[in-house]
Structure 1
C-alpha cells in the first residue's frame, strides 16, 4: 500500500512501513530547536491519531531514543540512543573533524563565516561552522537545514547529480519554493546553473537564501570521487564586490581541494 499522508505517494515499487515512517517523523521534529515536545504537540504537527502517537512515543522512550524532560513526565526530548547514533555516524566519517579543521583554516584567512554542509534529499544540512570575526555577519547553527537550490553550498552538492536525478528531487514547482525573490524557482534554471557549477568547479548565490547575504561554495569529494559535502563562505552584501568574490572563490576552492585530498579523493582538474 502506498503511503499518501500529506498527499505524497510513495514512488512505484517502493515498500513503506507506516509505523516506522511515523516514528521517524516524530524523531525528526527534534531536529529543530525546542525545549521538548508533548504528545498533543506532536499529534498536531504531524496530523496523526493521538493514540498512535502515544504508542510510538512510548516505544521510542522505552528504546532510549526519547526521554522525559526533567520532572515533566509528559514532555519529551531526544534520548541517549539518538546521541549514540549521531556519534556512530561521526565515527564512520572522518568528514566531521576534518571539516571543522578545514573550515577553521579557511575562516582564519578570510575572517568570514565558513560552513560545511551535506545533502539530505533536497536540503543542505550544516555539519560544521566557523563564525566571522566581523560584528555584522551571518547568524546560523550547526544542524540547520536549508533548501539546497537556494544556497551556494546546496548548489555545489546538487552539481554532483544528473538532470534525471534532479528531476526526481524536484518534480514540480512546489519542490523549488523560493526563500527570497532571487531564489531559483524552476528546474530549467537550476539545471542551467548547475551546468555552470560543474564546468567551473564552484557555486555562488546572491541573496537567494537571505536578502542580506552572498555566498560562494565548492564541492568536497571522497574516495571514489563522489561529492560528499560542500564548503561555503558567506558574506554580508555590504562587504561584497567582484574583487572580494574572486578572493573568496580562490580560498574556498583551495580549501575544498585540500580537504578532498585528505578524504582520499582522486585529483581533479
Structure 2
C-alpha cells in the first residue's frame, strides 16, 4: 500500500490550483483551495518560490506560477496540443510569407518560444525553442499582454525595474506600455522594430483559446520593408485558436 506524502500532495495541489487561475492570487485563496492553514501555506509558497516554481508579487500580495513550473513541463510542451496543433499552420505561414515565424507562450513577464519555423535562406534569430525574452519588448509578448486584464499587466510590471532593455529601445514605464497595448488592441496585432535585435522587426497576433496565453509572430530583416504581413499572421493565429477550441 502506497503511503501518502502530505507535503508533496499539497505542493502538487498548489501548482494545479495556480495553473487554473488567469491571474496571480492571494495566499489566503491558495490556502483555502488546498485546505491548509494559512501559516503552513506561506511556508510552502516561500519554499516553492526559492525553487522557482512560484513567483511572489509583493505589491499586490499575490502569487503565481514561476518559470520552473514551465521548465518541468518543457518536454511535454513539445508534444502538447498547442505545439502539435500549431506546427502545420505555422509552416504554411512561413511558406506563404517567406519569412521565419514562431509560436510563444507567456510565462510571468517573459515569453517562451515553443516552436520556431525558419524560412529557407533567412538568417538565424534569437528565438530558438526554449529561449525566454522580455514580453514587453517582443511583438508576440505585446500581442498577449494586450489581451490580459489591466490588473494582471500591472502585477507583471510593478515598477521601472521590470522594464529591461536589450537594444536601448522599448517601453520603460507602465504608462508607455499601456499606450502600446492600447494601440495593439485597436489594430488587432502587435509590432516591434529593433527592440529585441537591432536590424530585425516582428509582427504578431494573439491566440485566443480559453486560458491559453500564446501568440504567433513573423520576424524579418527590417532593412527590407514588407507589407501585408498582418493579415496572414492574424489568420494563422485564428486558425490555431479554432484548432485548440475544437
Give unmatched runs, 5+ long, in structure 2.
1-24, 29-41, 54-69
CA contact (8 A) 1:151 1:209 kept: yes
Partner SS, residue 106 of structure 2: strand
Shift of 1:173: 0.5
The aligned counterpart of 2:90 is 103
The aligned counterpart of 1:55 is none
Q: Kindly report structure 1 stretches of 4+ aligned residues shifted beyond 2 Å.
A: 11-25, 82-91, 134-140
The aligned counterpart of 1:251 is 232
The aligned counterpart of 1:213 is 200
Calculate the TM-score normalised by the size of structure 2: 0.70
Q: Which of the two has higher C-alpha Rg?
A: 1
CA contact (8 A) 2:105 2:111 kept: yes
Q: Does 1:233 align with 2:189?
A: no
CA contact (8 A) 2:102 2:127 kept: no
The aligned counterpart of 1:130 is 117
- How many aligned residue pairs are there? 193
1:153 & 1:209 partners in 2: Cα distance? 11
Give unmatched runs, 5+ long, in structure 1.
1-10, 26-81
Calculate the TM-score normalised by the size of structure 1: 0.65
Q: How well do the aligned residues superpose, as a CA RMSD in angstroms?
A: 2.6
Q: Decide which of 172, 181, 199 is 2:159's aligned counterpart.
A: 172
CA displacement 1:194-231 (0-9 Å, x = unmatched)? 01111221000011111121000000011x4x553100
The aligned counterpart of 1:157 is 144
Shift of 1:127: 0.3
Shift of 1:254: 1.1
CA contact (8 A) 1:157 1:227 kept: no
CA contact (8 A) 2:135 2:142 kept: yes
CA contact (8 A) 2:77 2:83 kept: no
CA contact (8 A) 1:217 1:252 kept: yes
1:209 & 1:84 partners in 2: Cα distance? 26
Distance 1:238 1:16, change over 3 A: farther
CA contact (8 A) 1:138 1:236 kept: no
Shift of 1:13: 4.2
